[in-house]
């Protein structure tokens, strides 16, 4: 019986691995194009499989997208949680900067987050999970404010700070007529500026 279990476990692992391959291919595409410009055929091509196979792993296009987002979200939350555990003195400035850097370096996450914030017509369970993820993200900001000595209206600070950084990214990310390097600098500059405002 043990042997049998192991074999079926292996099977499931293989299946999961293939699923991840598809998700990875999708995310690679999201980092260079906006989500609505990524099609099933593109993902299949990138993953080196037939489009039809995708439907053996995902109900539909939406399910794939939502899952890709949740997977990526896990990464930034892990980074946050590690930052908070490792050092006691996590400042708003530091957490703000790592968040923005993460957004700049992971365009796929940025694309997905804004997509879900703006266009999203998600199923109820996905909305639930999306909220849960956002709350965990905000909890990271909470900790930063607390260890910066801000004890009043912490949640309000987190909401405002998180939203502001999102805004900086959205507003200046593709500022036309400027080089990528200039844009990075400007965004980081604004991030530091806002962080200081929030430290008061």
Partner DNA sequence: TGTACATCAGTGAACGCGCGTTCACTGATGTAC
Residue placing its CB nearer to DNA in the complex, 45 or 159: 45
* CA–CA gap between residue 30 and residue 35 (Å, rounded): 6
User: If binding is defined by CB under 7 A, does position 97 make contact with DNA?
Assistant: no
Shortest reach from residue 49's CB to DNA, in Å: 4
165, 194 Cβ separation under 8 angstroms: yes
Shortest reach from residue 125's CB to DNA, in Å: 17
Among DNA, a second copy, none, what does residue 171 contact (CB within 5–8 Å per kind)? Answer: a second copy
* CA–CA gap between residue 50 and residue 137 (Å, rounded): 36
User: If binding is defined by CB under 8 A, does position 112 make contact with a second copy?
Assistant: no
Q: 14-41 as b/e, with b when 16 or more CB fall inside 10 Å?
A: eeeeebeebbebbbebbeeeebeebebe
Closest by CA position to 39, among listed 50, 48, 51: 51
Pick the piece of the chain touching a second copy (CB under 8 A) from 6-14, 75-83, 93-101, 110-118: 110-118
Shortest reach from residue 86's CB to DNA, in Å: 39
Residue 177: both structure tokens together: 């007529």
Among DNA, a second copy, none, what does residue 177 contact (CB within 5–8 Å per kind)? Answer: a second copy
Residue owning tokens 């499931």:
12
Among a second copy, DNA, none, what does residue 71 contact (CB within 5–8 Å per kind)? Answer: none
Handedness of CA 158, 78, 133, 38 (dihedral sign): positive
* CA–CA gap between residue 128 and residue 151 (Å, rounded): 28
User: If binding is defined by CB under 8 A, does position 61 make contact with a second copy?
Assistant: no
Shortest reach from residue 55's CB to DNA, in Å: 4
Residue placing its CB nearer to DNA in the complex, 48 or 177: 48
* CA–CA gap between residue 34 and residue 165 (Å, rounded): 20
Among a second copy, DNA, none, what does residue 103 contact (CB within 5–8 Å per kind)? Answer: none
Phi-psi category of residue 177: left, alpha or beta, with phi > 0 → left and psi -120 to 50 → alpha = left
Given the rule CB under 7 A, which residues bind DNA? Answer: 4, 7, 15, 18, 38-41, 48-53, 55-56, 60-62
Binding site for a second copy (CB under 8 A): 34, 36, 114, 117-120, 127, 130-131, 156, 159-160, 162-168, 170-174, 176-177, 186, 189-190, 193-194, 197-198, 200
């Amino acid at each position: 019986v043990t042997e049998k279990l192991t074999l079926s476990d292996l099977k499931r692992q293989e299946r999961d691995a293939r699923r991840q391959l598809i998700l990875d291919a999708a995310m690679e595409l999201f980092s260079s194009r906006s989500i609505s410009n990524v099609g099933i055929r593109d993902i299949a091509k990138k993953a080196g499989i037939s489009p039809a196979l995708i439907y053996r792993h995902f109900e539909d296009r939406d399910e794939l997208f939502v899952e890709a987002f949740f997977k990526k979200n896990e990464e930034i939350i892990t980074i946050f949680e590690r930052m908070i555990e490792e050092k006691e003195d996590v400042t708003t400035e530091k957490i703000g900067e790592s968040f923005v850097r993460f957004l700049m370096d992971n365009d796929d996450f940025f694309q997905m987050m804004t997509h879900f914030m703006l266009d999203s017509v998600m199923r109820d369970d996905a909305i639930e999970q999306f909220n849960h993820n956002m709350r965990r993200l905000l909890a990271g900001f909470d900790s930063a404010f607390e260890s910066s000595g801000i004890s009043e209206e912490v949640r309000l600070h987190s909401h405002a700070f998180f939203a502001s950084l999102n805004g900086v990214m959205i507003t200046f990310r593709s500022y036309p007529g400027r080089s990528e390097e200039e844009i990075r600098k400007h965004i980081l500059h604004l991030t530091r500026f806002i962080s200081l405002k929030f430290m008061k």
